[in-house]
Chain A
């Protein structure tokens, strides 16, 4: 059974870099049928898509975060990571990593078809 586990600091200072890693077990991150994604949810608010990465390193990201965002993948460790720089209090949220099914009519396409989620980790931006 696929499991995703987020890890990283729960507290980040303003203007610094938020770094999270998602460890995948029970499945290969090198599968050609999936992207791997990050989604966040500020306390008491709705979901916000951050970005997806394919095992090859190809990424798609939220235009509003793109300039501050790096998503990377390490197939040797079956992990993918998120770095968001110059954070502010507005970046305080529960961050989820997820598996995103990309197969649509036999072709791998970009979708928000998130079929498996991590439990989420709260990251607070505060001095």
Chain B
């Protein structure tokens, strides 16, 4: 199982706001930045959020990130059909000489 824990699935209707959680520990999320990736079917992942809550150029402000303690969240407001994708959180983990860890991924369905 993954070091970072995400719900396997989430869903919402167009226009709704959905959140995806990512739970970690003191060795990763609590003391390091969290990153979020969006993976559309059949494509490489795309960086959605960096440094907990920063959006790269071109990412709509409908996407927002937050972090508190050992957990982080990705929020998507004004849900659109094109947001249907897999979402992954990631962080650096300070154990075992340091390594990156991903969440198991959350499959978002737009109903």
Contact = CB atoms under 8 A, between A and B. Distances in A.
A109 B96 CA distance: 16
B22 to A, nearest CB: 12
Categorize the interface residue count of chain A. 20 to 34
Interface of A: 37, 39, 46-49, 52, 60-63, 96, 101, 104, 109-115, 117-120
Contacts of B90: 47, 49, 112, 114
Contact of B99 (A46, A62, A96): A62
B98 A117 contact: no
A111 B97 contact: no
B98 A110 contact: yes
B104 interface: yes
Interface of B: 2, 32-33, 35, 37, 39, 44-47, 50-51, 56, 86, 88, 90-92, 96-105
A46 B88 contact: yes
Contacts of A120: 44
A115 B49 CA distance: 10
Contacts of A39: 45
A112 B44 contact: no
Contacts of A115: 47, 50, 56
B45 A47 contact: yes
Given A113-B50, A115-B56, 15 more contacts: A46-B88, A46-B104, A52-B100, A60-B99, A62-B100, A96-B45, A104-B51, A111-B32, A111-B35, A112-B90, A112-B91, A113-B47, A113-B51, A114-B47, A118-B44
**Nearest 3 A-B pairs (CB), nearest first?**
A112-B100, A117-B44, A49-B100
A50 B39 CA distance: 18
A111 B94 CA distance: 11
Contact of A110 (B39, B50, B92, B102): B92
